[in-house]
Amino acid sequence: MDKNLKEHLMSYLLGRLSCQDVAEIITEYLEGAMSLSNRIRFHMHLGMCRDCRNYLEQMKATVQTLGKLPPEPISPHVREELLRRFQHWKKG
Amino acid sequence: MLFFEWLTIALALPVIPPGRDESELLDGLRKGDEQAFAEAVDRYSGSLLRVAMAYVPSQAVAEEVVQETWMGVFEGLSRFEGRSSFKTWLFTILTNRAKTRGTRESRYVAFAEKTGSEDDDEWGGVDLDSFIQSGSKAGHWIEPPHAWDHGTPERLALSKESREQIEQAIEALPATQRQVITFRDLEGLSSDEVCNILQVTETNQRVLLHRARSRVRRTLAQYVKGDLG
Ligand SMILES: [Zn+2]
């Protein structure tokens, strides 16, 4: 069978995902919560679609960015109050 | 450098104990060691405050919730068995305090009304206006996403302006979405831990995470396009 035809037939049988579908199930993919058949369809779409590959990379980069944001320290007066309460608790 | 020279300098420096690991820290707390407590406060309070902000309407109330959380630690320390990490245990105490606090705060009602409508939020995380809705190209991107270069996360995290954009995007999220993205992506908890703390199903957690991440990504995409691109 012609390779192209085979691919088309496969994607038809598996159910082709649109870019919108990909964007809607991307977290399912990143969370490893996707069924095998959806994962195959997902990868097939990505193999053919640079836009969605970019989207996936943007999503991963977003998560990475959020992981690089340190929390702001608490204000010194709250910190002092806490240490004071700890001393109090220790005595009580 | 001569050995004695080095020794003089070394002895003159204040003794800074190396960072204790979690169990050492807990031992210290149980013994009432103030150093250990100060270290625990410095290590975790920023995270606690950030999470508290996802529950209550103001910085002042969030700070009180953080204080109450540490009070809860004093009370519960002898019962803590280490089945979860110390940080996850802290978050569990915090969310309980924050929720109790939330119901007492009259302002919380306004806050909940503003942000608590996510249960009927029909929005699936992706804007329909990002995609062609009819014709042979239906389902395709209207404005295809660009490739971000490799160093983008570092650059975004270092830029004050982009950090502010991220903060605003997260603040604008419905409360439960904000809670989930804070736990998962800012604090690095696992989905199991978050499901436990929030008492939601895995699917529910994932849907909330998806919506939250999609919105933050969109904000970043606009920022990257405008300022870095
Ligand atoms: Zn696509």
CB contact under 8 A, B145 and A51: yes
User: ipTM beyond 0.90?
Assistant: no
Centre of ligand 1 to C-alpha A74, Å, is: 44
Nearest CA in chain A to B216: A62
pLDDT digits over A17-53, tens only? 999 999 999 999 999 999 998 999 999 999 999 999 9
| In chain B, domain spans | 14-104
Residues with Cβ within 8 Å of A1's Cβ and at least 6 positions away in sequence, in order, are A9
Which residue of A28, A73, A81 is in closest CB contact with B67?
A: A81
What whole-number distance in Å separates Cα of residue A31 and Cα of residue A22? 14
Q: Does A48 touch chain B (CB under 8 A)?
A: no
List per-block mean pLDDT (blocks of 10 residues) for chain B, which spans 229 residues.
Answer: 55 57 90 93 96 93 96 90 90 93 56 45 65 92 94 95 96 95 98 95 97 96 79
Residues A36 and A6: beta-carbon distance below 8 Å:
no
What whole-number distance in Å separates Cα of residue B140 and Cα of residue B131? 5
- Name chain B contacts of A81, Cβ cutoff 8 Å: 67
B18 exposed, middle or buried (CB, 10 Å; 0-12, 13-18, 19+)? exposed
What residues pack around ion ligand 1 (CB closer than 5 A)?
Answer: A 19, 49, 51-52
Residue spans of alpha helices (H) in chain B: 3-12, 22-30, 34-52, 59-76, 86-104, 106-115, 152-158, 160-171, 175-181, 191-198, 202-223
Fold (topology level) of B14-104: Rna Polymerase Sigma Factor; Chain: A (1.10.1740)
